[in-house]
Amino acid sequence: MSLDQLRKQHFFERAVEFLSTWRADYRFHDQSAINFLLHGHIEELPEYWNRPSWRFDVQPNNELDCVLHYTTSAPWLGGTGGPGQVLFERFAGEAGLPVNRQSSDFKRSARRNFWRNALAPIRALAFSIAALLYRIAGTRVKSAGYNKVARYWLQYIRNTPTRRQLHRRRSEEIIQMKFDLRTSRLGL
């Protein structure tokens, strides 16, 4: 982004106006304003350069030759369990800005992740039943949609032991990492 150009175009003021006017229609807040106001002027980085943290979590190793983009939740507020969260906390600790695991936001996030996993079997069953009911009712499109979500949750449950084992191994490796922030271009 050219910050000088954005200032000349009064981007901040336009973004605030956009968000004030349309906040109920857009769920990605600042990202929605950026996408709307700069539509047609944005080029996406390829994923190998701008990897979402959930993709980092499912890869088989800790190679990180890209910018890690936390897209599902803020890691300083608890994020989601996995190597991406461990990496963020490790780096933050090395930078002298450790994550406060005792904060109410962090604890709330941990509870949300616990319940997401605990309710996975119920979700798989509920979506399967909904898919069947929509199929019986003759609504094939909705049936297919609910069936797809049910399959996601069934696969999520089936892969839990493997995913936990992989996350544990990779998290242990990340905990051993050291970051030399003195060589960073940021000059931290």
Q: Give the pLDDT confidence of 36-53 residue by residue, as tens digits.
A: 889 888 887 787 788 888
User: Mean pLDDT across the stretch 82-99?
Assistant: 90
**DSSP three-state, residue 69:** strand
pLDDT band at 188 (very low <50, low <70, confident <90, very high): very low
The dihedral formed by the CA atoms of 16, 21, 25 and 28, expressed in degrees to the nearest 10: 0
Residue 130: predicted pLDDT? 96
In the predicted structure, residue 85 carries a pLDDT above the cut 70? yes
Q: Would you state the pLDDT for residue 182?
A: 66
Q: How far apart are CA 148 and CA 47, in angstroms?
A: 25
Spatial separation of the C-alpha atoms in residues 124 and 152, rounded to whole Å: 8
> In this predicted structure, what is the pLDDT of residue 142?
94
Residue 138, both tokens: 């003759």
At residue 187, the pLDDT reads: 47
pTM: 0.70
Q: b/e string for 72-109 if b means 16 or more Cβ within 10 A? A: ebebbebbbbbbbbbbbbbbeeeeeeebeeeeeebeeb
In whole angstroms, how far apart are CA 60 and each of 4, 65, 87, 89, 159? Answer: 41, 14, 15, 20, 14
- Residue 130's identity, in one-letter code, is A
Cβ–Cβ under 8 Å, residues 78 and 106: yes
Query: Please, what is the average pLDDT of the chain?
Result: 87
The residues with which 51 forms a beta bridge, in sequence order, are 68
Q: Tell me the average pLDDT across 76-87.
A: 86
User: Which letter, b or e, does each residue of 137-166 get, where b requires 16 or more Cβ atoms within 10 Å of its Cβ?
Assistant: eeeeeebeebbebbeebbebeeeeeeeeeb
Give Cβ neighbours of residue 11 (< 8 Å, ≥ 6 apart): 37
Q: For 44, which DSSP code?
A: P
Confidence band of 184 (pLDDT split at 50, 70, 90): low
Rounded to 5 degrees, φ, ψ at 144 are -65, -40
